[in-house]
Amino acid sequence: MDEKAIFELSTQLGEKLKARSAWITSAESCTGGMVAQMITSVPGSSAWFDRSFVTYSNSAKHDLLGVAEATLNAYGAVSEETVREMATGALHAAHADLAIAISGIAGPDGGSEEKPVGTVWFGFADNNGRVTAVKRIFSGDRQAVRSQATVFALQTALTEFLEK
């Protein structure tokens, strides 16, 4: 998806949030703030976006989002359990209505047989108590993995949380 299409996706997301007077936040690791960047590229985004969290290290995930050290030790940063806690922690810390969490292995290093490069976990939490997580494995270089993860996160927030 090209940058113009991602901008349109972000615009649609913003329109849905604004219509509901809802706020969104993100807790990002491997994407390093790309979701927040795309959300805030839309003029007027301050009506639905207040803050986000780039929690690249385990200590940042714990300190800023409240991810339990036991979770990180048992499952690792790139796991269903971690992104669920990241999403919930971000939702509460930002006083938002919807939170997106992303943790993955963008590469080129860091992958394993169990978690190859391109593995990305996404967590979503909303103020109705819904918390979900999904894993995707993307291909391509570091930038391609990060871009695909950003698009997936925005699309999922729009279609699974705001269009239902």
Write out pLDDT tens, residues 43-91.
999 999 999 999 999 999 999 999 999 999 999 999 999 999 999 999 9
- Contact at 8 Å (CB) between 122 and 136? yes
Closest CA to 23 of 160, 157, 164: 157
pLDDT in tens, 4-38: 999 999 999 999 999 999 999 999 999 999 999 99
Whether pLDDT at 164 is above 80 = no
pLDDT digits 0-9 by tens, 30-44: 999 999 999 999 999
CA dist 155 and 164 (Å) reads: 13
**Domain hosting residue 61, numbered range:** 3-162
> How much is the CA Rg of the chain, to the nearest whole Å?
15
pLDDT at residue number 7: 95
Number of other CB atoms surrounding residue 159 within 10 Å: 12
Distance between CA atoms of residues 84 and 121, nearest Å: 9
Q: Which residue type occupies 4? A: K
The structure tokens 């391109």 sit at: 118
Using one digit for the tens of pLDDT, what is the confidence trace for 113-154? 999 999 999 999 999 999 999 999 999 999 999 999 999 999
Tally the domains of the chain. 1
The structure's pTM equals: 0.97
CATH code, 94: 3.90.950.20
Report the SS3 class of residue 124: strand
Helix, strand, or coil (residue 137) = strand
Look at residues 41, 57, 40, 58 and name the one whose alpha carbon lies nearest to residue 49: 40
